[in-house]
Chains A and B, each alone.
Chain A
Amino acid sequence: MVKVSFKLRWFGVILALIFVAMAVYGILRDEVTEVLNNARIICLSCIGIE
């Protein structure tokens, strides 16, 4: 059996940075306002009356 593999150093850090970049891009697209507006109104589905 031949196994070839490589070690990716600090993969978690790289992955975290990619996700942070994604979050920042979302913030720049003004997604926070969208999240805020959605969260501020009472979700009738959550309450169970819709």
Chain B
Amino acid sequence: MKLLDWLAYKAKRWRVQLASTILHNIPIYQSATKGLIAPGFNCYSCPLATGACPIGTIQHFITVRETPLYTIGVLGAIGSVVGRMPCGFICPFGFFQDLLYRIKTPKISVSNKFGWFKYVVLVVLVLIIPYITLEPWFCKLCPIGALEAGIPWVIIDSGIRAAVRFMFFIKLFILFSFIAAMILIKRPFCRFFCPLGAIYSLFNRVSLVKMEVDDSLCSYCDICQDVCPMDLRIYDDPNSEQCIRCFECVKACPTGAISVKIRDSVTVPILERSRI
């Protein structure tokens, strides 16, 4: 609980994100550490990568017709405890998006109603198409792979540079489209496309860590939405699947209406009917 309080009220989030990005990219003992599943989105083909990309690993297991129990177990255990918190504090690509959004330009507000699209990406590009084609199709289009693996390897390895084909330029186009969007829109990849965020988001409503809004204290001033990297009004739905538990709203709330709690029970409806 002390760690949670520190993260919610005292920690400078960018410092935790920076530390996590460095930890995700320490190229020491890679021959052992790459057996560990990275909790954030970080391409395992990055020359510096410490761990294994969870989405790439899931696709690999699907293409070899096996169930990725270890990977699902790790992601599920993290999600069950903290929900989507890794997106807010740990994910290197989330940090990259937060940094790009700080660039001073006119900003565009995009509704979260298209948040369901990330589940389509997860089911279609990560599960179904790799199962049918035996190819990791999300990896082929992934902007993180282009940024962390494609560009560095093309720069440092002449053999790979010589092998560059049309697909590489498609990946670059996807990457730079996302970069442009990230400057203008709050975390567009996390909100609408991220399959890892889609997995973690499934746990937001049942995870041990939960958000709470005291309606009697809330003044509906929308400061929470201004500071939210996901452009959410936390009072609409404190444990929305889009919330990345970055706790920016907790720190910013002028009335102290928003808090972080440990959930001790979940109410499960088993019967609901009208009495005539």
Task: Report A35-50 residues with CB < 8 Å from chain B CB.
Answer: 35-36, 38-40, 42-43, 45-50
List residues of chain B with CB within 8 A of the CB of A39: 34-35, 44, 49, 51-53, 56-57
B interface, size bucket: 35 or more
- Chain A 9-50 against B: per-residue CB contact (8 Å), 1 yes, 0 no? 111110110111111111101011111101110110111111
CB pair A8 B268 closer than 8 Å: yes
Task: Report B9-52 residues with CB < 8 Å from chain A CB.
Answer: 30-32, 34-35, 37, 43-45, 49, 51-52
Q: A3-B269, A5-B270, A39-B57 are in contact. Are A21 and B73 (CB under 8 A)?
A: yes
List residues of chain A with CB within 8 A of the CB of B264: 9-10
List residues of chain A with CB within 8 A of the CB of B53: 39
CB pair A7 B266 closer than 8 Å: yes
CB pair B45 A29 closer than 8 Å: no
Number of contacting residues on A, CB 8 A? 43
CB pair B272 A23 closer than 8 Å: no
CB pair A19 B73 closer than 8 Å: yes
Q: A9-B265, A35-B35, A48-B167 are in contact. Are A22 and B172 (CB under 8 A)?
A: no
CB pair A15 B76 closer than 8 Å: yes
List residues of chain B with CB within 8 A of the CB of A11: 206, 263, 265-266
User: Closest CB of chain A to B57's CB: distance in Å?
Assistant: 5
Q: A1-B275, A48-B150 are in contact. Are A26 and B268 (CB under 8 A)?
A: no
B273 at the interface (CB under 8 A from A): yes
Q: A11-B265, A38-B57, A49-B160 are in contact. Are A23 and B270 (CB under 8 A)?
A: no
Q: A26-B70, A45-B136 are in contact. Are A32 and B267 (CB under 8 A)?
A: no
Chain A residues at the B interface, C-beta cutoff of 8 Å: 1-13, 15-16, 18-27, 29, 31-36, 38-40, 42-43, 45-50
What 4 A-B pairs come out closest when comparing CB atoms? A23-B73, A26-B70, A19-B76, A26-B69
